[in-house]
């Protein structure tokens, strides 16, 4: 049975849209800890992109709506050493951060960006 062109196309999740109180502060955070770089601006929206092509669309907003407490997004690192190294670096810079947890090789911690968005950093 032949597959249609539509079902054969690869679909990748490729961006996350966040409202932030201070565009420059958010930009510095994601550049400093997650290797994003400015890609382009479209009106008030700043697009940051990482080496994998994933984009953060940052929109200035004086009062961003809070996400539900369970909501978070994550960054996967290559090994537990990298997770612990980033944790140490973020802690030394005063980032709001939880302790590292090791669940039989699933090493993880959560931090919060300057706007309070919950971010999980992990390796498995």
Contact at 8 Å (CB) between 60 and 44? yes
Per-residue pLDDT of the chain (124 residues; tens, 9 = 90+): 455 556 668 788 899 999 999 999 999 999 999 999 999 999 999 999 999 999 999 999 999 998 999 999 999 999 999 999 999 999 999 999 999 999 999 999 999 999 999 999 999 8
Which CATH superfamily, name and number, covers 72-124? 2,3-Dihydroxybiphenyl 1,2-Dioxygenase, domain 1 (3.10.180.10)
DSSP one-letter code for 72: -
Q: Would you say the pTM of this structure is higher than 0.85?
A: yes
Which of 115, 118, 119 has the alpha carbon at shortest distance from 59?
115
| Distance separating alpha carbons of residues 41 and 112, to the nearest angstrom | 24
Q: Please list the residue range(s) of the chain that carry CATH number 3.10.180.10.
A: 13-63, 72-124
Residue range 13-63, CATH number: 3.10.180.10
| Distance separating alpha carbons of residues 60 and 20, to the nearest angstrom | 5
| Distance separating alpha carbons of residues 14 and 113, to the nearest angstrom | 20
């Amino acid at each position: 049975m032949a597959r249609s062109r539509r079902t054969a196309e690869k679909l990748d999740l490729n961006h996350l849209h966040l409202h932030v109180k201070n565009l420059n502060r958010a930009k510095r955070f994601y550049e400093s800890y997650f290797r994003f770089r400015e890609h382009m601006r479209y009106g008030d929206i700043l697009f940051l992109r990482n080496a994998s092509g994933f984009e953060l669309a940052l929109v200035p907003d004086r009062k961003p709506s809070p996400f539900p407490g369970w909501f978070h997004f994550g960054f996967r690192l290559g090994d537990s050493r990298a997770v612990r190294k980033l944790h140490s670096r973020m802690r030394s810079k005063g980032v709001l951060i939880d302790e590292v947890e090791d669940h039989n090789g699933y090493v993880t911690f959560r931090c919060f960006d300057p706007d309070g968005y919950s971010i999980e950093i992990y390796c498995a």
